[in-house]
């Protein structure tokens, strides 16, 4: 389907009732009234000075709302609850509209316990049909010698956690260290023309996640791009399509003094015995620092993945001799298999038992307030 038709189809779909919630069964009523818009500005020139304040003030009416974010650094931990579907967050520019926090797994939660991975996020999305454009969401907890001594070398610090269905990100920057982007639950997530940065398992979880034309950058040595925990009844897990993978030069040094040398495309994550990890890279640019084996494991006893694959990837990390050395379940897709990897098929209702309707996100972002 060409991009104009994809955009038209997505707009038509937005106007129809949908029936899949964060767990695949909640019904979200049809939005029909004019779009309500509020402005968040750090300098006080808008309706609110924080994103959370704006979200909390939204009416609980199952209608679309636009939150416009003006330039500024918004140091806050943000949650969009399930009561507020159809929210579109639009920044002026991702370089200047920044939402940031610094929580991490193991931090005191103020209630006599500590945060876990799923509590460490900067931005939590629990509402269906969320869209973000031109914003930066960052977790600025830094893996360092001091933090390593206090918390362990690989402390989780999530930037974005999606626990909902039909979340889309366009031209956003999502940055962190370990576990940057968490697709939690069984919903569908789309990232287009985004920049995602992290190191260990920095795109992970059980959601169906498609990253299209994104830049995936690693900021530590021995990084792993993906860690899917795909449910058994899902046809797709984490899919990277036409993305560019970048890695620091070998002249640079990690915080522990080691030189940057290699990374892996993914490893399976098994939080439950039912997990059947799937990760696929199609037509991605892979640098020479990609280890020849391509894929790795959580441990020597980890089960084999359901599908770890590549298709027509390019770059020094995807030469014929490198591809011949792929290990730990990694293989190449056939042309027929690769034909099943389109936006329409990945997000179709038939791709998982929880989905009651197809979803076709637009190929490019269109400001709903400008229609």
Residue 45 in contact with residue 16, Cβ under 8 Å?
A: no
Q: Which token pair is 286?
A: 């892979």
Residue 178 in contact with residue 143, Cβ under 8 Å?
A: yes
CA distance 111 to 335: 53
Residue 241 in contact with residue 283, Cβ under 8 Å?
A: yes
CA atoms within 13 A on the CB side of 308: 26
CA distance 257 to 315: 27
Residues 6+ apart with CB under 8 A from 107: 114, 115, 120
Q: Of residues 47, 154, 179, 256, which has the active-site annotation? A: 179
Active site annotation includes 179: yes
Which pairs with CB-CB distance under 8 Å and at least 24 residues apart come from 38-47?
A: 38/65, 38/66, 38/67, 38/68, 39/67, 39/68, 39/70, 40/67, 40/68, 40/69, 40/70, 40/74, 41/70, 41/72, 42/70, 42/71, 42/72, 42/73, 42/74, 43/70, 43/72, 45/70, 46/70
| CA 57 to each of CA 82, 103, 364: distance values in angstroms, whole numbers, following the listed order | 14, 25, 29
Active site annotation includes 61: no
Phi/psi at 343 (5° precision): -60, -45
Q: Which token pair is 188?
A: 């569908």
Q: Of residues 103, 201, 251, 335, which has the active-site annotation? A: 201
Q: Which residues are catalytic?
A: 179, 201
């Amino acid at each position: 389907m060409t991009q104009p038709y994809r955009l038209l189809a997505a707009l038509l779909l937005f106007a129809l009732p949908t029936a899949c919630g964060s767990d695949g069964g909640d019904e979200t009523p049809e939005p029909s009234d004019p779009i309500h818009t509020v402005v968040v500005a750090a300098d006080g020139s808008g309706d609110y000075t924080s994103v959370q304040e704006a979200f909390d003030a939204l009416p609980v009416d199952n209608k679309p709302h636009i939150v416009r974010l003006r330039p500024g650094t918004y140091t806050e931990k943000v949650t969009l609850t399930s009561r507020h579907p159809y929210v579109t967050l639009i920044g002026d520019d991702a370089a200047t509209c920044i939402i940031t926090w610094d929580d991490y797994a193991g931090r005191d939660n103020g209630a006599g316990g500590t945060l876990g991975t799923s509590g460490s996020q900067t931005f939590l999305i629990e509402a269906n049909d969320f869209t973000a454009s031109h914003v930066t969401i960052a977790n600025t907890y830094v893996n360092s010698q001091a933090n390593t001594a206090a918390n362990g070398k690989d402390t989780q610090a999530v930037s974005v956690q999606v626990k909902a269905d039909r979340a889309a990100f366009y031209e956003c920057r999502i940055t962190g260290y370990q576990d940057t982007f968490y697709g939690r639950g069984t919903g569908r997530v789309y990232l287009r023309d985004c920049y995602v940065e992290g190191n260990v398992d920095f795109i992970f979880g059980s959601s169906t996640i498609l990253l299209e034309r994104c830049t995936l950058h690693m900021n530590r040595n021995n990084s792993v791009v993906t860690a899917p925990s795909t449910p058994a009844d899902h046809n797709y897990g984490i899919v990277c399509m036409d993305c560019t993978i970048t890695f620091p030069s070998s002249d640079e040094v990690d915080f522990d003094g080691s030189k940057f040398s290699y990374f892996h495309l993914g490893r399976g994550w098994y939080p439950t015995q039912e997990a059947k990890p799937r990760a696929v890279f199609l037509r991605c640019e892979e640098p020479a620092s990609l280890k020849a084996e391509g894929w790795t494991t959580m441990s020597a006893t980890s089960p084999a993945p359901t599908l770890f694959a590549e298709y027509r990837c390019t770059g020094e990390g995807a030469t014929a001799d490198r591809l011949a050395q792929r290990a730990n379940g990694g293989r190449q897709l056939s042309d027929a298999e690769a034909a099943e990897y389109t936006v329409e098929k990945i997000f179709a209702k038939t791709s998982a038992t929880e989905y009651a309707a197809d979803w076709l996100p637009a190929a490019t972002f269109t400001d709903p307030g400008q229609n």
